């Protein structure tokens, strides 16, 4: 995946200063995204570098999104080893006024498919009613 950019000034508030960021982000990922081992997080000047092994491409993608959707993180460098994805996934940046229903209409063609987006982002979206502009989400392939 390489480098993925995010909005630095928005997202889940996990840490107060950059020195505590690696430990807080690691804890957040490990508590909410099983399927990773040997996870190491480094943060410098708003850039988080992730290394480790993931059981699946999905676990890797979620770790990247969980990190990038954290306030204070501007970019994520992905050095996580993972098997190739068998599922086509795209990404969507939440816009002002979006809801999961509207995003599902735009990306999947049917607002009623919002649950598919929620399920694909369970570790990233804690509450389906609380998404925010600038947040990046995984969009599963339309079935």
pLDDT at 54 over 80: yes
Sign of CA dihedral 35, 23, 69, 100: positive
Report the distance separating Cα 99 and Cα 106, nearest Å: 11
Contacts of 12 (CB under 8 A, 6+ apart): 28, 69, 70, 71
Residue 49's DSSP bridge partners are 42, 77
pLDDT > 90: what percent of the chain?
74
> Residue 73 half-sphere exposure, CB side, CA atoms within 13 Å?
33
Q: How far is CA 124 from the centre of its chain?
A: 5
User: Could you give the domains of the chain?
Assistant: 2-81 (3.30.1340), 89-140 (3.10.350.10)
What's the whole-model pTM score?
A: 0.87
């Amino acid at each position: 995946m390489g480098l993925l950019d995010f909005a630095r000034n928005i997202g889940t508030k996990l840490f107060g200063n950059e020195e505590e960021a690696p430990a807080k982000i690691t804890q957040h990922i490990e508590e909410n995204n099983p399927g990773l081992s040997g996870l190491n997080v480094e943060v410098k000047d708003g850039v988080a570098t992730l290394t480790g092994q993931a059981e699946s491409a999905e676990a890797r993608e979620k770790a990247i999104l969980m990190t990038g959707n954290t306030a204070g993180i501007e970019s994520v460098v992905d050095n996580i080893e993972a098997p190739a994805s068998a599922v086509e996934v795209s990404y969507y940046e939440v816009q002002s006024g979006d809801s999961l229903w509207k995003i599902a209409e735009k990306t999947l063609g049917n607002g009623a498919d919002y649950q598919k987006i929620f399920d694909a982002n369970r570790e990233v979206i804690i509450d389906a009613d609380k998404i925010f502009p600038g947040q990046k989400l995984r969009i599963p392939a339309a079935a």
